[in-house]
Structure 1
Amino acid sequence: MMKELFTHYNIGHFINQPSNQTEFEIMQFDNMEEPNVDDIHKHTFYEIIWTEKGVSKQTIDYKEYEVLPNSLFFISPNQVHQFEEWKPLKGGTILFTEDFFLLNHNNKDKLFELSFLDNFYANPCIQFDKENFRDIKQTIELISNEHKRHDKSETITQALLHILLAQIQRCIDTQTEKPISKNYLVVFKQFKNLLEQHFTANQTTSFFANHLNITSHHLNLITKNVTGKTSSEVIRARSILEAKRLLTFTDFTVSEIATQLNYFDSSYFAKLFKAETGKTPIVFKNQMSEKYRIR
């Protein structure tokens, strides 16, 4: 088992109450204390940042995103997120766990059917037109008002959260020429969860297809439909992402990293890395260590 490189924070850490096991929180930027968390970290929960005014930058796994007004930004569990400046912004953040979303619902697929959550191939930043953003903001205000009540109800808050997420999905679907089928999304996210458990073993598409009780051909079809990539490309990209994290945040050699990811020919692994990133592992390590590591 590979040692975790990043601190996993729960919602309590973001309200500066680390021992608080709360599963839902909503905060306006104006009233937020800066959380005492590492700049680079992982969440155990989902976060939706809404921005009414101002511009900020967010980084998720080496990709930088500009967050503009009238937009929402989504962070899912296990993504490596870099904390950015939020003081000049007008807006806020909604934090919720998977358990809170599924409270009194037995069907976990309900969460998987939302294309903008847990999908590392979807753009985590979505800008809306004024009319749609106004509707979304009205629901956010209802959630906020409910959460402030002394007799607040988890059931009502969860119902309003479901409405908000359904509104967001509707906006995305109307902007998409051919929305992805819910069944495909569910299977893809099951594949992604399995990959998260087994990526260090460098397994083949057929290994994951067998676990999902479908053929390799069908898994490929689904993955291509959701991401535009083959299953093998998605599997390889997950290994390369871990290699990037290890190169940036540890002192392991390229050969040690290749071995940890079950590539026993380090020169073959280095070629794969360069094909995927355009840089050799050593060049990448030097550039990223300078950017992210405190000397």
Structure 2
Amino acid sequence: MIQKKKIPVYSIHNLVQESQRQTGLQAEYFSSYLEKHYEHLHQPHRHSFYHMVLFISGKGRHTIDFDRFEVQPFQVYGMIPGQVHSWHFTSAIKGYVVNFPDHFFRDFLFNPYYLERFSLFSGVSTEGVFRLPARLRKKVPELFEALIETASDPDAPPDISRVLLLQILLLINSGVAEYASESIPEQKKLILYNLRRLIDTHYKSIRLPRDYADLLYITPNHLNALCQDLVGQTAGELIRSRVLLEAKRLLINVNKTVTEIAYELNFEDNAYFSRFFKKYEGVSPDEFRKQFIK
């Protein structure tokens, strides 16, 4: 019989020191972070906060929403609240970690959606992993060092930490732009960004691309062409991927039955959900769960 367990969700208050709870920012060397929390980090878990890591050296792998990445020097990882991930290291690790709540920049920038302009925090695992170009491999670690020093000083104004973290994010984003094959018009970026937000909100109840096109005030053909152009997938594939991702997240919480998950995801019945899952994942929901637990 499978022992029932639930994927834990860690809040920023579980991790930060008392002096840091006002801002909720945690910035420290990854080696010390790992020493304190490895018991939890190597098991799949979620955060209720934004999470960013820069590796300087070491080997291992990082799994984010069931995509696996090999750790490399000067690699940056960014994750948003709710993503499932785990670490597995095979050598000593050197780097930096920063955790902060979703309201960290809100009052400072008067823009609740500011972080969503950074691909590092798109919520798509493959977009949340980036290797710094050579020109940033000195400057960005220096800023992490300054952020750790400021965050650990109880007398330092919180806005200094916000400015330092904002510098880090803007520099990383400039590096991401360097690797883009061509400049993408802002209007196209905005449509994709709004589509992803709509899918994230309505994927349980809205499954047809034409309904999302209506919400975006564009034609279905325009929506599909834009998705193919920017991410190499149709709008239908983006919707389906989001449903499958949530199905996987729910399946690794073994306290839910497959029937309950099918109902939660708004499928007609368990059989339809199982056929859908197996068609695109190659295994049944029960087989996926058993493989994950094993």
Question: Normalising to structure 2: TM-score of the pair?
Answer: 0.83
- Give the 5 Å matches for 1:109-258: 109-120=113-124, 122-250=126-254, 252=256, 254-258=258-262
CA distance in 1, matches of 2:187, 2:114: 11
TM-superposed CA distance for 1:28, in Å, is: 0.7
In the alignment, the residues of structure 2 paired with residue 182 and residue 99 of structure 1 have an alpha-carbon distance, to the nearest angstrom, of 25
CA contact (8 A) 1:75 1:124 kept: yes
Q: Measure, in 1, the Cα distance between the counterparts of 2:58 and 2:64.
A: 20
Q: What CA distance in whole angstroms lies between the structure 2 residues aligned with 1:116 and 1:43?
A: 16
Match of 1:23 in 2: 24
Which residue does the alignment assign to 2:70?
66
Bigger relative contact order, structure 1 or 2 (CA pairs below 8 A, ≥6 apart) = 2
Which region of structure 1 is more displaced relative to structure 2, 188-197 or 134-143?
Answer: 188-197
Q: 1:244 to 1:29 in 2, by over 3 A?
A: closer
**Paired letter, 1:34:** K
Which letter maps to 1:158?
R
- Relative distance call for 1:131 and 1:198 in structure 2 (3 A) is same
Structure 1 Cα separation of the partners of residues 185 and 197 of structure 2: 19
1:128-154 per-residue CA deviation (whole Å, 9 max, x = no partner) reads: 344321121122223223323343122
Partner SS for 1:34: helix
Please state how far the C-alpha of 1:49 moved relative to its aligned partner.
0.7
**For residues 105 and 221 of structure 1, do their structure 2 counterparts lie closer, same or farther at Cα, with a shift above 3 Å needed?**
farther
Q: 1:150 to 1:24 in 2, by over 3 A?
A: closer
Post-superposition offset of 1:21 = 5.7
Q: Which moved more, 1:76-85 or 1:44-53?
A: 76-85
Number of matched pairs: 285
Q: Distance in 2 between matches of 1:9 and 1:185?
A: 32
Q: Give, in whole Å, the separation in 2 of the partners of 1:150 and 1:259.
A: 48
Inter-partner Cα distance in structure 2 for 1:153 and 1:104: 13
Instruction: Sort the Cα spacing of 1:80 and 1:213 in 2 relative to 1 into closer, same or farther, 3 A.
Output: same
Q: 2:48 aligns with which of 44, 50, 71?
A: 44
Match of 1:293 in 2: none
1:11 maps to: 12
| 1:23 counterpart SS class | coil
Range with greater deviation from structure 2 (23-32 or 257-266): 257-266
Q: CA deviation at 1:88?
A: 1.6
Q: What TM-score do the two structures reach when normalised by structure 1?
A: 0.83
SS across alignment from 1:48 = strand
Given residue 249 of structure 1, which amino acid in structure 2 is its aligned partner? Answer: N
Deviation per CA, 1:114-170, whole angstroms, max 9, x where unpaired?
122124163432223443211211222232233233431222221222211111111
Instruction: Indicate the percent of aligned positions where both proteins have the same amino acid.
Output: 26
Provide the residue aligned with 1:56 in structure 2. 60
> Matched residue of 1:201: which SS?
coil
- Superposed CA deviations along residues 216-267 of structure 1, whole A, max 9, x for unmatched, are 3444344334422112111111112222233332265545433332221544
Moved more, 56-65 or 247-256: 247-256
Match of 1:106 among 102, 107, 110: 110
Distance change >3 Å, CA 54–CA 37, structure 1 → 2: closer
Task: Tell me if the contact between 1:224 and 1:230 (Cα under 8 Å) persists in the aligned partners.
Answer: yes
Distance 2:154 2:289 in 1: 51
Contact 2:119 2:127 survives alignment (8 Å)? no
Deviation (angstroms), 1:197: 2.8
Distance in 1, matches of 2:271 and 2:9, equals 33
1:283 aligns to 2:284 (yes or no): no
Deviation per CA, 1:59-99, whole angstroms, max 9, x where unpaired?
Answer: 11212111111211112211111244598211120112232
Aligned equivalents of 2:150, 2:21: Cα separation in 1: 20
Q: Which runs of 5+ in 2 are unaligned?
A: 1-5
Match in the other structure for 2:3 = none
